[in-house]
Amino acid sequence: MYMKLKFIFLLIALLNLNALTGWTQNSTVQSIVEKVELDSLTFFVKQLSGEEKVFINGVADTIYSRHIDQDGNEKAFQFIKQKLFSYGHEIDSQQFSTNGKNLFGIKTGTVFPDRKLIIGAHYDNRPAINIAPGADDNASGAAAVIEAARIFSRYDFPFTIVFAFWDEEEQGLIGSKAYTSFAAANGDSIIGYINLDMLGWDGNEDFVADLHTRPIAGSIQLAEKASEVNSRYSVGLNLNFVNPGIGATDHAAFWSNGFTAIGINEEYSNDFNPFYHSPADSLGQFNLQFYEKCTKLAIATLAECALDRNLVLSAKEQPFAKEMFKVYPNPVGHYLTIKKVTQGLNEYEVKVYNEMGQFIQMSSSNENININVSSYPTGTYILRISSIKGHPLETKTWIKL
């Protein structure tokens, strides 16, 4: 009897702790974290660093170097492209120099297809010699993004997820700068970016990982979310907040263009990889448990953000501070009116979704919109309002009586 009461009191205490901290696990995120496989990760690293053969268009080949001036750079691009395609993702790329190409796997969101969460890593490497494995820098990051693409292919998310692979990082972040400059000029809605650059070295086995952030857009908030995820899902890393984060890897290109971004990597300041940019940068130098934990942190943070349809990390994602539309009556029985209250806005479109995220209908106009909802089942619905070019403006919730 005593043991039973002790167990009950312990359970109540744990429940109260969760209520106070808000640290309740999302079962889908937990499922995603559990699908991270170290064997899968390390095999991708071996393939990208020349320890295992790759098959490109059915032909066996070896990637001996991914340096921009080596033919292995193009082989890596084609290999990763095939992996993304095999997972069912839409493929896109961006040629920004004579040889430089960024690669993207895209999983379109079910509710907010124009709002993007991006996880990325550079796939090129150094030194500029014929055989340069570049296992830690940065096959480790690229393999983690491939693993994320593999796992996320099994789930649906309200936001679009982009799996990005940057080229010519080693020449000065050229690939990521080209992408972010274009995205900023185009008005892309990027909720947040997670950068992975060198995840395998932990020479002193203290499980310290750097979390790079800056007070730009929602970068601090995204870093705090990663820290919460580390605790909530028992990832087991000792996180070292670096603020201001370094400018020598691809998250800096996002900061330079005002986007929310963080970087996750091994500890740079007190435990730097001595095999960096050398032919000895191989998988054999990895702390595999540490590498797995870094990958889990990145994937769990991405999943937490991707499943939160109310996520707002920064005001930059909301391009207009004032309310642009009124929706009435709410609740509604027959006709729902969307009234434009901002001057200077031209044609816009409205998409209606049910509370399960299923698309119902779309309307567009230069003026007010009236939607006949008489036949809609009783329940809660979501209006996603965007410019005719797809730039998100506002999201409204309304109730059908």
Q: For residue 19, tell me if it sits in a domain.
A: no
Kindly state whether residues 229 and 294 are assigned to the same domain. yes
Q: How far apart are CA 327 and CA 104, in angstroms?
A: 37
Quote the number of domains for the chain.
Answer: 2
**H/E element holding 326?**
strand 325-328
Kindly state whether residues 111 and 204 are assigned to the same domain. yes
The reported pLDDT for the residue numbered 15 is 43
Kindly state whether residues 211 and 354 are assigned to the same domain. no
Kindly state whether residues 297 and 392 are assigned to the same domain. no
Q: For residue 10, tell me if it sits in a domain.
A: no
The reported pLDDT for the residue numbered 2 is 45
Kindly state whether residues 45 and 175 are assigned to the same domain. yes
Picking from 268, 291, 315, the residue at the C-terminal end of a domain is 315
**Residue 157 CB coordination number (10 Å):** 23
User: Nearest Cα to 48, choosing from 31, 33, 67, 32?
Assistant: 67
Kindly state whether residues 197 and 289 are assigned to the same domain. yes
Enclosing domain of residue 196: 24-315
Please say whether the beta carbons of 352 and 370 come within 8 A: no
Q: For residue 227, tell me if it sits in a domain.
A: yes
Q: For residue 8, tell me if it sits in a domain.
A: no
Picking from 282, 298, 315, the residue at the C-terminal end of a domain is 315
The reported pLDDT for the residue numbered 392 is 64
Please say whether the beta carbons of 211 and 262 come within 8 A: yes
Kindly state whether residues 376 and 301 are assigned to the same domain. no
Give the contacts of 6 (CB within 8 A, at least 6 positions apart): none
Q: For residue 2, tell me if it sits in a domain.
A: no
The reported pLDDT for the residue numbered 316 is 54
The CATH number assigned to the domain holding 384 equals 2.60.40.10
Q: For residue 17, tell me if it sits in a domain.
A: no
Q: For residue 150, tell me if it sits in a domain.
A: yes
The reported pLDDT for the residue numbered 312 is 76
Kindly state whether residues 186 and 101 are assigned to the same domain. yes
Q: How far apart are CA 344 and CA 324, in angstroms?
A: 11
Kindly state whether residues 72 and 160 are assigned to the same domain. yes
- Per DSSP, the residues of 142-173 read HHHHHHHHHHHTTS--SEEEEEEEES-STTTS
Picking from 315, 344, 370, the residue at the C-terminal end of a domain is 315
Residues in the chain, pLDDT under 50: 1-22, 318-321
Kindly state whether residues 304 and 213 are assigned to the same domain. yes
Kindly state whether residues 308 and 349 are assigned to the same domain. no
pLDDT digits over 80-130, tens only?
A: 999 999 999 999 999 999 999 999 999 999 889 989 999 999 999 999 999
The reported pLDDT for the residue numbered 390 is 66
